[in-house]
Amino acid sequence: MSGTGGTRGVRSAERREEIVLAALEVIAERGYRGASLAAVAQRVGLTQQGLLHYFPTKDALLVAVLEERDRWDAVPDSPLRLDLLGSLVEYNAMRPGIVQTFSALLGESVTEGHPAREFFTERYGRVRGAMAAVLRAEYGDRLPSGLTPERAAPLLVAVMDGLQYQWLLDPGSVDMAEACRDFLALLGEGEGEGEESGESGEGGEGGEGGEGGEGGEGGEKGEDGVT
């Protein structure tokens, strides 16, 4: 009996995986709205009712699709680097159907009890942690702005997801990868400025300027409004 049950469980898991892969294909071909349960069921030789035995709702199937996408995107033993984030965004731009599915489900998942809510809550926790690790590897304990990696990580995630929404709405006007790289450049602004200002403040003309500000010509210029 147990052997039969185990075999049945394996077959059920294999069938679920087959359905998920078929859904990925349909989404890639038809987009989020075109990926109906009927279309996916036909792809795997099931009736729509038969498909509902494995996935009770379309949202449940789409969550499984996003989980599968995350497994594909994971690269074991190869930590993500900050300079590769732009390439990751470029890769996503090649999969508009999946990006559309992700964004549509994300918007719906904020409602209480939505089947995708737990998936996105857990995923965002992982992604924020991963982005904090990427920023720490690049900048150490503080970014040039003074923010910690943990404080900056939600901002980076928000920019990447926000760019996806803008790109989906107006792909001709928004270059996701370019905008992402622009934001990464902003994160790095200020590097080296501390050393430069410190050097100019030690002695030389910089030191003399400080003394002049207390009186003499420095004080007179201040009264005349020239400075």
Residues 185 and 169 in one domain: yes
- 74, 103, 124 - which closes a domain: 74
Note the pLDDT of residue 33.
83
| Cβ neighbours for 218, distance < 8 A, ≥ 6 positions apart | 209, 212
Question: Which range of residues forms the domain containing residue 38?
Answer: 12-74
Residues 85 and 96 in one domain: yes
Q: How far is CA 198 from CA 5, 11, 136, 205, 215, in A?
A: 72, 68, 24, 13, 24
**197 within a domain of the structure (yes/no):** no
Note the pLDDT of residue 11.
85
**Mean per-residue pLDDT for 53-72?**
91
**3 within a domain of the structure (yes/no):** no
**203 within a domain of the structure (yes/no):** no
Count Cβ atoms within 10 A of the Cβ of residue 183 and give its class: 0-12 exposed, 13-18 middle, 19 or more buried: middle
Q: How far is CA 160 from CA 52, 97, 194, in A?
A: 34, 17, 29
Convert the pLDDT of each residue in 64-115 to its tens digit.
999 998 887 765 556 678 988 999 999 999 999 999 999 999 999 999 989 8
**43 within a domain of the structure (yes/no):** yes
Supply the CATH number for residue 20's domain.
Answer: 1.10.10.60
Supply the CATH number for residue 107's domain.
Answer: 1.10.357
Contact 49, 75 (CB under 8 A): no
34/58 Cα distance (integer angstroms): 12
For 202, the 3-state DSSP assignment is: coil
Residues 121 and 70 in one domain: no
- 74, 99, 116 - which closes a domain: 74
Residues 122 and 177 in one domain: yes
Residues 89 and 66 in one domain: no
Confidence bin at 34 (pLDDT 50/70/90): confident
**211 within a domain of the structure (yes/no):** no
Residues 91 and 165 in one domain: yes
Note the pLDDT of residue 189.
82
88/99 Cα distance (integer angstroms): 12
Residues 108 and 132 in one domain: yes
**134 within a domain of the structure (yes/no):** yes
**1 within a domain of the structure (yes/no):** no
Convert the pLDDT of each residue in 13-23 to its tens digit.
999 999 999 99
Residues 81 and 182 in one domain: yes
Residues 50 and 97 in one domain: no
Q: What percent of the chain shows pLDDT beyond 90? A: 62
Backbone angles phi, psi at 173, to 5 degrees: -105, -15
- 54, 74, 94 - which closes a domain: 74
**Mean per-residue pLDDT for 194-221?**
45
**226 within a domain of the structure (yes/no):** no
Residues 67 and 160 in one domain: no
How many residues comprise the chain? 227
Confidence bin at 200 (pLDDT 50/70/90): very low
pLDDT above 80 for 164: yes
Residues 148 and 59 in one domain: no
Query: Domains in the chain: how many in total?
Result: 2
Note the pLDDT of residue 224.
46
**pLDDT mean across residues, the chain:** 83
Q: What is the pTM of this model?
A: 0.73
Residues 140 and 103 in one domain: yes
Note the pLDDT of residue 169.
96
